[in-house]
Structure 1
Amino acid sequence: MHSIVSQIGELADAGERMIERLRRKAFLPESRKGLNLRFGIAEAAQLLGCSTNRIRMAEDDGRLPPPPPSDNGRRPGYTVDELLNMRRVLGASPERAGLDVPAVIAVQNFKGGVGKSTVTCHLAHYLAVQGYRVLVVDCDSQATTTTLFGFNPHFNIQREETLYPYLSIDPTQADLLYAVKRTPWPNVDLIPSNLELFDVEYELAAAGSDGGSVLAARFRKLKQGLADLARDYDIVLLDPPPALGTISLAVMQAANALLVPLAATTPDFCSTVQFLSMMDQVIGQLQGAGISVDYSFVRLICSKFDANDPSHAMVRAIMEQSFGPALLPVPILDSAEISHAALRMMTVYELERPIGTPRTHKRCRANLDEALGQIEQLVRQGWGRVTPASEEALIHAA
């Protein structure tokens, strides 16, 4: 007999098939996400903090390969790979020094719908454009971040490719190298997720009922595994589940910085206050159990902010009054460009050309650069450095 409950599975299957159709359409012809970004010489110079003349001189004297060939009289611009090579040759890489501790940032809030995965992916791609080596770890079995990186968690990702073989009660992997996947960005790698990662929650919860020593060991194990991997990166971004489960607890302990996205609505504000209160209690319990938790920074960032909505302005004022300097001053604006890009399973940083009007795209990109640049500055401050001044800024200062 066909039960109403069985419709849930049918709906899920229909949805999965549609996701795969969307993915194939978005990533044709090779059905795998590609990166066709190009940066003009002026934008390249701005990103490197140097003059266009310096780039041209390096191309003329052979330190850099010749400029990209003209296409109908116009240079097509530099690829991300070429930009990274420019940074190496011209000494403009922002990479951390050997003794600097890699930033391991958990992007966390127990309230769903705050743009957690959207913030994580845009932050990863922003940092990639700036020249950092980034690892993104999708710890959420809903796998939104994995999807935005061009993988279909249902069809493309096996349980053995997630954190599961490392964190399960009967682990089959001793380190996390097995799970690292290349992405279309040459300086961004991903550890993907899928629905089967949720099995870890069941296993660890059952094991935890026997005294919690297994849980404590798993928490330390994730921290150690990520610390080993982080040696090859500047910044690691963790996207945990939007709930207080064993994986979220492990992520909280593995991170050395915390970023909390929240939307400018009263329910989001109230929920985030509860999240912070719960975090405080849980961290106290973890420390009481001998599990250390320490962050170089804790910041909240207002996401999906509509500057034309008076209620958003009021809630943001309440946030500022409550959280003070812990709230980053520049919010991420609610932009149609972000929504349009997400429909194509992309971030704004991956778009070759505007989807909406050029003005909307430019305003959105400028806001993202400023908002996400705040987090870059916090990371650099942790390394005892600030973002280097450009040649142009130094000349003006003189």
Structure 2
Amino acid sequence: MDAIVSQIGDLAEAGERMIERLRRKAFLPDSRKGLNIRVGIAEAAQLLCCSTNRIRMAEDDGRLPSAPSSKNGRRLGYTIEELLHMRAVLNASPQRTPLDVPAIIAVQNFKGGVGKSTVTTHLAHYFAIQGYRVLVVDCDSQATTTTLFGFNPHFNITREETLYPYLSIDPTESDLAYAVKSTPWPNVDLIPSNLELFDVEYELAAAGSDGQSVLTARFRKLKEGLNVLANQYDVVLLDPPPALGTISLAVMQAANALLVPLAATTPDFCSTVQFLSMMDQVLQQLASAGIELDYNFVRLICSKFDSNDPSHAMIRSIMEQTFGAALLPVPILDSAEVSHAALRMMTVYELEKPIGTPKTHKRCRANLDEALGQIEQLVRQSWGRVTPAKEDEVLHASI
């Protein structure tokens, strides 16, 4: 038995060393993840809902600096920092008003392999490109989201940098500000995770006869801490563990919106139905204990959808019949570009150039924008707003 345990430990150590090698290879020369994407003026105008002429005029009259050029005079495009500055100058920021409640979205499904962390990171970067201030909270001790943000949870993150000091039985932190880390994205912050966060589950399970009151206090504490922190952001994305444990329940109570990713397979559909049934029972039990949950929206989104697979089309049809309007109409397509980016510990939004063919990349990016844009619309609706019409649409309509 000792030999088996030792073998498992050796396998884990070998895996951690390989992750670090991959990370260092991906982020050469300084082994730190950077953000090197640039946006051309046409895409910038689309993102700012204005014309390219308006941007050029602002550059000509000095309100905006000109986009840097290469040696041959070709525009290099705008960085994300420059885009944020352009939004401020041109009054094109989508950020909420002080009266709008920050969206705190839990991306949850108890079925593993549905792309929960991939959806979370892509959603964070989508919101960032659109100009929102985003906080991502990795609540899963497997720390996939932390890894996708360029941190190695085994080598780079200590237990004191996770939610643990705040949620443990003997907390050493009274608020969550200590855990917030900056990321390569200027408007995206991260609270990371690592394997030691699971100690919270052990501690609360061993809380003894007073366990129920301890659990209730932890549920309320996470919500209170996130509500305070959320005042600095527009959108907070929570990535909980794929299991019904203490942290998952605390996340469910802290969120004000729920997004459930599920793949178009029979096992995923059946598992998601069980997840929803379990959620219903748990929410009733929490309500009876005086812990209320109130969501601005609950939506399911089909992830890893292969439009060329007839079985996927059939299962998606079943989803539509079952869930109706709660299923978002545009699925996230299963694309090699997403997989290739993940191998580099990136999202598609971080790629400087296509990894596969330009056609594949363009199709993948367009699908992600449309699919994740559905969630942006739900957030804006919760603020009582809709996306403003583009300048050219307004001009065309008035002719």
- The bucket for the TM-score relative to the shorter chain is over 0.9
TM-score (norm 1): 0.99
| Residues 154-175 of structure 1 deviation map (CA, whole Å, 9 limit, x = unaligned) | 0000000000000000000000
**Which position in structure 1 is the counterpart of 2:360?**
360
| Residues 308-354 of structure 1 deviation map (CA, whole Å, 9 limit, x = unaligned) | 00000000000000000000000000000000000000000000000
1:228 aligns to 2:198 (yes or no): no
Partner secondary structure for residue 135 of structure 2: strand
| Residues 162-193 of structure 1 deviation map (CA, whole Å, 9 limit, x = unaligned) | 00000000000000000000000000000000
Structure 1 Cα separation of the partners of residues 71 and 56 of structure 2: 18
In structure 2, relative to structure 1, the CA distance for the partners of 1:314 and 1:160 (3 Å cut) is same
Partner secondary structure for residue 135 of structure 1: strand
1:216 aligns to 2:216 (yes or no): yes
In structure 2, relative to structure 1, the CA distance for the partners of 1:321 and 1:355 (3 Å cut) is same
Q: Give yes or no for contact 1:208–1:215 (8 Å, CA) kept in 2.
A: no
**Which position in structure 2 is the counterpart of 1:54?**
54
In structure 2, relative to structure 1, the CA distance for the partners of 1:71 and 1:373 (3 Å cut) is farther
Q: Give yes or no for contact 1:258–1:299 (8 Å, CA) kept in 2.
A: yes
| Residues 197-239 of structure 1 deviation map (CA, whole Å, 9 limit, x = unaligned) | 0000011122265340011011000000000000000000000
Structure 2 Cα separation of the partners of residues 178 and 72 of structure 1: 46
**Which position in structure 1 is the counterpart of 2:181?**
181
Give the letter for the 1:337 counterpart: E
**Which position in structure 1 is the counterpart of 2:370?**
370
Structure 2 Cα separation of the partners of residues 273 and 81 of structure 1: 42
Structure 2 Cα separation of the partners of residues 285 and 133 of structure 1: 34
CA offset at residue 2 of structure 1? 6.6
**Which position in structure 2 is the counterpart of 1:278?**
278
Structure 1 Cα separation of the partners of residues 155 and 366 of structure 2: 35
Q: How many residues align?
A: 398
In structure 2, relative to structure 1, the CA distance for the partners of 1:246 and 1:368 (3 Å cut) is same
**Which position in structure 1 is the counterpart of 2:30?**
30
**Which position in structure 2 is the counterpart of 1:156?**
156
| Residues 52-91 of structure 1 deviation map (CA, whole Å, 9 limit, x = unaligned) | 1101111111111122133423111100000000000000
CA offset at residue 397 of structure 1? 1.7
| Residues 107-158 of structure 1 deviation map (CA, whole Å, 9 limit, x = unaligned) | 0000000000000000000000000000000000000000000000000000
Equivalent residue runs for 1:1-398 within 5 Å: 3-207=3-207, 209-398=209-398
Partner secondary structure for residue 259 of structure 1: strand
Gaps of 5+ in 2: none
Q: Give yes or no for contact 2:205–2:211 (8 Å, CA) kept in 1.
A: no
| Residues 280-312 of structure 1 deviation map (CA, whole Å, 9 limit, x = unaligned) | 010111111011111000000000000000000
Give the letter for the 1:294 counterpart: D
Partner secondary structure for residue 237 of structure 2: strand
Structure 1 Cα separation of the partners of residues 306 and 341 of structure 2: 18
In structure 2, relative to structure 1, the CA distance for the partners of 1:2 and 1:206 (3 Å cut) is closer
Structure 2 Cα separation of the partners of residues 209 and 202 of structure 1: 15
Give the letter for the 1:97 counterpart: T
Partner secondary structure for residue 267 of structure 1: helix
Structure 2 Cα separation of the partners of residues 29 and 267 of structure 1: 43
Structure 2 Cα separation of the partners of residues 313 and 107 of structure 1: 23
Partner secondary structure for residue 276 of structure 2: helix
Give the letter for the 2:357 counterpart: T
Structure 2 Cα separation of the partners of residues 167 and 4 of structure 1: 33
Q: Give yes or no for contact 1:354–1:361 (8 Å, CA) kept in 2.
A: yes
Give the letter for the 1:44 counterpart: A
Identity of aligned residues (%): 85
Partner secondary structure for residue 21 of structure 1: helix
In structure 2, relative to structure 1, the CA distance for the partners of 1:350 and 1:43 (3 Å cut) is same
Structure 1 Cα separation of the partners of residues 331 and 208 of structure 2: 39
Structure 2 Cα separation of the partners of residues 83 and 325 of structure 1: 34
Q: Show structure 1 runs of 4+ deviating over 3 A.
A: none
Structure 1 Cα separation of the partners of residues 296 and 101 of structure 2: 10
| Residues 12-64 of structure 1 deviation map (CA, whole Å, 9 limit, x = unaligned) | 00000000000000001110100001001111011000011101111111111
Structure 1 Cα separation of the partners of residues 47 and 223 of structure 2: 33
Structure 1 Cα separation of the partners of residues 176 and 309 of structure 2: 45
Structure 2 Cα separation of the partners of residues 218 and 361 of structure 1: 43
In structure 2, relative to structure 1, the CA distance for the partners of 1:222 and 1:2 (3 Å cut) is closer
Structure 2 Cα separation of the partners of residues 71 and 29 of structure 1: 24
Structure 2 Cα separation of the partners of residues 148 and 236 of structure 1: 17
Structure 2 Cα separation of the partners of residues 140 and 396 of structure 1: 48
Partner secondary structure for residue 373 of structure 1: helix
Q: Give yes or no for contact 1:41–1:52 (8 Å, CA) kept in 2.
A: yes
Q: Give yes or no for contact 2:204–2:211 (8 Å, CA) kept in 1.
A: no
